[in-house]
């Protein structure tokens, strides 16, 4: 399976980079994993709603340009469906069994995701009702994808 994670902005914190590198290394025998960053827009504090939408639209255009046409797209979104780790494993297993070998996870910027990216999504996934820094979500997605593969292999990692 080919997994791509498209995320807005550069990862800055060393500990987050190390976490992603660790899970990326663990995934090498399980799937081909690629992480792609797209530039984020500058977001001054006092943006109007219209300006916020413009920022998300520009970031969304960059995201959409990176998504292969045949890919199954999972967008992280507060309005999405919450999944257990086992449900995510089931979903990935189902996709693999039904010929969906390219799966793209999309992580928006600090303002969220554009409507155009939401429309491109095959599935909207909400991690939690909690608010997380979008950079931390990258580490969590990597860990959950790794966990899903371990669940599907019958490994004890996920317990």
pLDDT tens track for 21-71: 999 999 999 999 999 999 999 888 888 999 999 999 999 999 999 999 999
Overall average pLDDT of the 8-29 stretch? 94
CATH 3.40.1280.10 at 2-40+52-153, yes or no: yes
Residue 132 annotated as part of some ligand binding site: yes
Tokens of 60: 């969304």
Q: pLDDT at position 158, please?
A: 62
Residue 127 annotated as part of some ligand binding site: yes
d(CA 16, CA 69): 30
Q: pLDDT at position 156, please?
A: 84
- What φ, ψ does residue 30 adopt, rounded to 5°? -105, -35
- pLDDT tens-digit map of 64-121: 999 999 999 999 999 999 999 999 999 999 999 999 999 999 999 989 999 999 999 9
Residue 76 annotated as part of some ligand binding site: yes
CA 51 from centroid of its chain's CA atoms:
24
Residue 156 annotated as part of some ligand binding site: no
> Is residue 139 classed as helix, strand or coil in its secondary structure?
helix
Confidence (pTM) = 0.94
Residue 128 annotated as part of some ligand binding site: yes
**8 Å CB contact between 74 and 148:** no
Give the H/E segment covering residue 158.
Answer: none
Residue 108 annotated as part of some ligand binding site: yes
Give domain limits for the chain: 2-40+52-153
């Amino acid at each position: 399976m080919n997994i791509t994670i498209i995320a807005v902005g550069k990862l800055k914190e060393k500990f987050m980079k190390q976490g992603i590198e660790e899970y990326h290394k663990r995934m090498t025998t399980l799937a081909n994993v690629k992480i792609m960053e797209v530039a984020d827009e500058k977001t001054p504090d006092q943006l109007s709603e219209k300006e916020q939408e413009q920022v998300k639209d520009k970031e969304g255009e960059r995201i959409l340009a990176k998504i292969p046409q045949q890919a199954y797209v999972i967008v992280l979104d507060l309005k999405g469906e919450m999944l257990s780790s086992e449900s995510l494993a089931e979903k990935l297993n189902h996709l693999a069994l039904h010929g969906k070998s390219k799966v793209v996870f999309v992580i928006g910027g600090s303002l969220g995701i554009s409507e155009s990216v939401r429309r491109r999504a095959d599935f909207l996934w909400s991690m939690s009702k909690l608010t997380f820094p979008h950079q931390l979500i990258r580490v969590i997605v990597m860990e959950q994808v790794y966990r899903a593969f371990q669940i599907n292999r019958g490994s004890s990692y996920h317990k």
